[in-house]
A and B are shown apart, each in its own frame.
Chain A
Amino acid sequence: MRCFTFQQRTATKMARSPSAITLAVWKALFLREAVGRLFSGRATWFWLLAEPMFHVAYLVFIFTGIRVSNIGGIDTTIWIMVGMLAYFMFNRTGTQVKNAINANQALFAYRQVKPVDTVLVRGALEGFLMIIISSILLMCAALFNHPITPSNPLAVLEAFFGLWLVGMGFGLVASIFSELVPELGRVINLIMMPLYMISGVMFPIATVPQPYRDWLLLNPVAHGLEAARLGFAGNYHAVPELSIAYIYSFALVSIFLGLALHRRFAQRLTTK
């Protein structure tokens, strides 16, 4: 039990309030996760940065090879890079959050640490790291004379934040499913695989004819990618059905569902 009873308050000198305990646990977990994520192996931090960089480099190489110098009216490199970083914002947050419970099994030896704590803290850390990684990669692009100044910085932040929330919501729900029903975890991984293709990282969604476009746009990540590109370049021909509201509603519903599931199955998750 995280809450101390009244009797205990008198019995022990240092009874802390439930919120104080939660905050202490979050801080400890955040620092621990950060060390683990950045320094657990040889130059782990380098690969965090290198992975999106190589993905961007591949695509830029291919698109340059077939002489595509602009997509939807904007610089190809920026189109690829912004889309890729936005996708990674969702994907990394979602994956890290999804695996949080399993990776922190050992910590549930301490009663203070609840499964939902590890999940929320991982999501926060991943969002924080992706902001830093995105900034570094964009600055690298600036060195190669690509126009990296966003025409509407707030719109870019809005898109990235929305994608982070969608990642959180997906991760919260998936963490419960993959922990309670391991088979569902495999199914979720199967669904995640083609997401890279259908989210519009490699081709503009706007070029897909109807009615298939509407099907692709059921995926909130596709909206997020387009919104981020539009924020960078106001003259970008984004997909006309683009809806920020859809991203945020999806995030709201999935986060609520995830938290509710965590509340409902809190005890089941730590029962052996």
Chain B
Amino acid sequence: MIIAKDVHKRYLTDHGPGRWVLQGVNFTIPPKLNVGLIGANGAGKSTLLQIVAGVDHPNKGSVERQCKVSWPMGFGGGLQGSLTGRQNSKFVCRIHGHEDDIPDRLAFIQDFAEIGDAFDHPVKSYSSGMKARLQFAMSLAFDFDVYISDEVTSVGDAAFRNKAAAAFKNLADKAGLIMVAHGEATLKQFCSAGIWIHDGKAHWFDQIDDALKAYKDTLKK
């Protein structure tokens, strides 16, 4: 269960505090529910996702996580360029307390990412697609109650997208999912509920279709 209470967020710019991105966001996400975040560019979807994941903090209000929440997948952070894919993966295994079965998890990551010999080359030599593959494989290697995903299903080539979608579907069945995606089909495929972010507020919809409809209605005007 994830409870957001009165979450306010604005970023600090070089000229003092910027505009309010989120202004009093409230919601409760029950366990094992797949939620899609919908909103225009700059509405605060990724901001909210990072706050929910605990990587960023609200200026006011709080987020309570009563379950194991993944790190935000697919926003490009968390990899150190000078280290190899394998070394980065080992690091993540260690901080998640999986010192004992590192070989198994490494084998899984290497197998899923399908980046070949590049797994033993520095991450800075990777293309953005390869980086995304590695990150996606890394997040699948651990068991979380809720996975946070920022556009991860739209990375990689067609073959990998299909594989990722299948793995994601499998994930969505046994754990919760909070995701940002701009593809309507993707949202409908994975999510049952939706949160529409508009003017710094979050609106909850039990059906993703209703959330998409509310979002589209504002676009027409």
Contact = CB atoms under 8 A, between A and B. Distances in A.
Contact of B66 (A5, A24, A106): A5
B77 interface: yes
A32 B97 contact: no
Which applies to chain B's interface (DSSP): helix, strand, loop or mixed?
loop
B146 to A, nearest CB: 11
Interface in B45-91: 50, 53-57, 65-69, 71-72, 75, 77-80, 82-83, 87, 90-91
Contact residue range for chain B? 20 to 34
B78 A110 contact: yes
Nearest to A4: B68
Which applies to chain A's interface (DSSP): helix, strand, loop or mixed?
helix
Interface in B141-160: 143, 145
Contact of A14 (B69, B82, B97): B97
Nearest to A271: B57
B87 A35 contact: yes
A40 B90 CA distance: 17
Given A16-B97, A272-B11, A11 B78 contact: no
A5 B54 CA distance: 15
B56 A270 contact: yes
Given A7-B66, A108-B55, A272-B56, A32 B78 contact: no
A28 interface: yes
B95 interface: yes
A28 B95 contact: yes
Contacts, number: 83
Interface string B105-130: 00000000000000000000000000
B54 A1 contact: yes
A24 B87 contact: no
A269 B83 CA distance: 24
A244 interface: no
Contacts of A1: 54, 65
A110 B97 contact: no
B68 A32 contact: no
A128 B105 CA distance: 30
A264 interface: no
B99 interface: yes
Nearest to A16: B97
For the complex of A and B, list the 8 residue pairs with the smallest distance between their C-beta atoms, beginning with the closest: A28-B94, A109-B78, A109-B77, A40-B82, A111-B54, A7-B66, A271-B57, A112-B95
Interface of B: 11, 31, 50, 53-57, 65-69, 71-72, 75, 77-80, 82-83, 87, 90-92, 94-97, 99, 143, 145
